[in-house]
Amino acid sequence: MIIGSGCAGLTAALYTARANLAPLVLSGLMPGGLLTTTSTVENYPGFPEGVDGYELMARMQKQAERFGARVQFATVEAVDLAHQPFALTVDGERVETKALIIASGAGHRRLGLESERRLEKQGVTYCATCDGALPMFRNQPLVVVGGGDSACEEALYLTRFGSVVHLIHRRDLLRASRIMAGRVLSNPKIRPVWDSVVTEVLDVNQGKVTGVRLRNVKTGAETVVDCAGVFVAIGHTPNTDLFKGVLAMDEQGYLLPLRGAQTSVTGVFVAGDCADHVYRQAITAAGMGCAAAIEVERYLASLNA
């Protein structure tokens, strides 16, 4: 069984199906995963003109189904990994599996503003690597929200495309590592805006990002910063609550693969963003799905040896 139907889960399904292992993919509430929420994916190899995120995932599913994978719209509510076969509670029903691949992904944290929600894909984004090179952001002023390593990395990356990058942070000191903070603060294209929070993304009426309204948390003063893009980099939350106390994870909840894709429980493997707080890309998630599938194949063969 495979939990999750994003790039990691569906690639694992393709490989395990081609190995005649009859995988069942439990899709969760977001069939196709995070990539279905974006329009054009320009950095997935094999699509020189780019590909619509939804279409890419529909194709991945079709490819896995061609070799016998089944994809079920179902959510895993609980797991019992103490004994073989493993038991999962799926939409209230108990199901058993000899091997499990967890590919449940990670969600990005949002600012929680209505204007942010309304302007998502119209200039509000959560991934500079994914979207920074889009024409709408080229030679334009950009905003990054956050103060940790990710926010600093996003800001540095965006200096290649934007005319200027405003880094909005609610404190007066970056949380990022010293080396990263040093790089950011010495970059002439990055302008830190300290002690400030975004209260509104402008302009919902125009249907595109034209700026952000800020409030200084110390003085209460309001200002507007003009920009064509808002990159929110305030962290991610892996979808791993089900495995707390069951599988080894780091303090943020990312599952820790021990050897390759193997987790701390033999027979349980992991792939994609739920175990990766560094790369978080479709191609890396797919690669991890492939690795987990090959390891499952070897594990099941060893059970029957």
Ligand X SMILES: Cc1cc2nc3c(=O)[nH]c(=O)nc-3n(C[C@H](O)[C@H](O)[C@H](O)COP(=O)(O)OP(=O)(O)OC[C@H]3O[C@@H](n4cnc5c(N)ncnc54)[C@H](O)[C@@H]3O)c2cc1C
Residue list 122-141, contact with ligand X (CB under 6 A): 126-127, 130
In the chain, count of helices (H) and strands (E)?
7, 20
Phi/psi of residue 147, each to 5°? -140, 10
Q: For ligand X, which residue of 17, 34, 168, 212 counts as binding (CB under 6 A)?
A: 34
The Cα 105–Cα 74 span in angstroms is 15
Query: Which string of b and e fits 165-193 if b means at least 16 CB within 10 Å?
Result: bbbbbbeeebebeeebbebbeeeeebebb
The answer to whether 43 contacts ligand X (rule: CB under 6 A) is yes
Residue 134 C-beta: closest distance to ligand X, Å: 9
Q: Single out the segment in contact with ligand X by CB under 6 A; choices: 191-199, 213-221, 249-257, 277-285.
A: 277-285
Residue list 76-95, contact with ligand X (CB under 6 A): 76
Respond yes or no: is residue 91 known to be catalytic: no
Q: Is 7 helix (H, G, I), strand (E, B) or coil?
A: helix
Q: For ligand X, which residue of 1, 8, 51, 156 counts as binding (CB under 6 A)?
A: 8
Asked if 72 contacts 25 with a C-beta cutoff of 8 angstroms, the reply is yes
Active-site residue identified among 127, 149, 195, 226: 127
The Cα 301–Cα 186 span in angstroms is 55
- For ligand X, the closer of residues 152 and 274 by Cβ is 274
Respond yes or no: is residue 130 known to be catalytic: yes
The answer to whether 103 contacts ligand X (rule: CB under 6 A) is yes
The answer to whether 229 contacts ligand X (rule: CB under 6 A) is no
- For ligand X, the closer of residues 16 and 104 by Cβ is 104
Q: For ligand X, which residue of 166, 169, 236, 280 counts as binding (CB under 6 A)?
A: 280
Respond yes or no: is residue 127 known to be catalytic: yes
Residue 22: DSSP 8-state = -
**Beta-bridge partner residues of 72:** 26
| Pairing of β 190-193 and β 164-168 | parallel
Q: Single out the segment in contact with ligand X by CB under 6 A; choices: 33-41, 180-188, 216-224, 297-305.
A: 33-41
The answer to whether 285 contacts ligand X (rule: CB under 6 A) is yes
Q: For ligand X, which residue of 197, 204, 258, 283 counts as binding (CB under 6 A)?
A: 283
Give first-to-last CA distance, the chain, whole Å.
21
Q: Is 8 helix (H, G, I), strand (E, B) or coil?
A: helix
- For ligand X, the closer of residues 4 and 192 by Cβ is 4
| DSSP annotation string for 206-273 | GTS--EEEEEETTT--EEEEE-SEEEE-S-EEES-GGGTTTS-B-TT--B--SSTTB-SSTTEEE-GG
- For ligand X, the closer of residues 36 and 187 by Cβ is 36
Q: Is cis: bond before 203, omega within 30 of 0?
A: yes
Binding site for ligand X (CB under 6 A): 3-9, 26-31, 33-35, 37-38, 41, 43, 75-76, 103-105, 108, 126-127, 130, 239, 242, 272-273, 280-283, 285
Q: Which residues are catalytic?
A: 127, 130-131
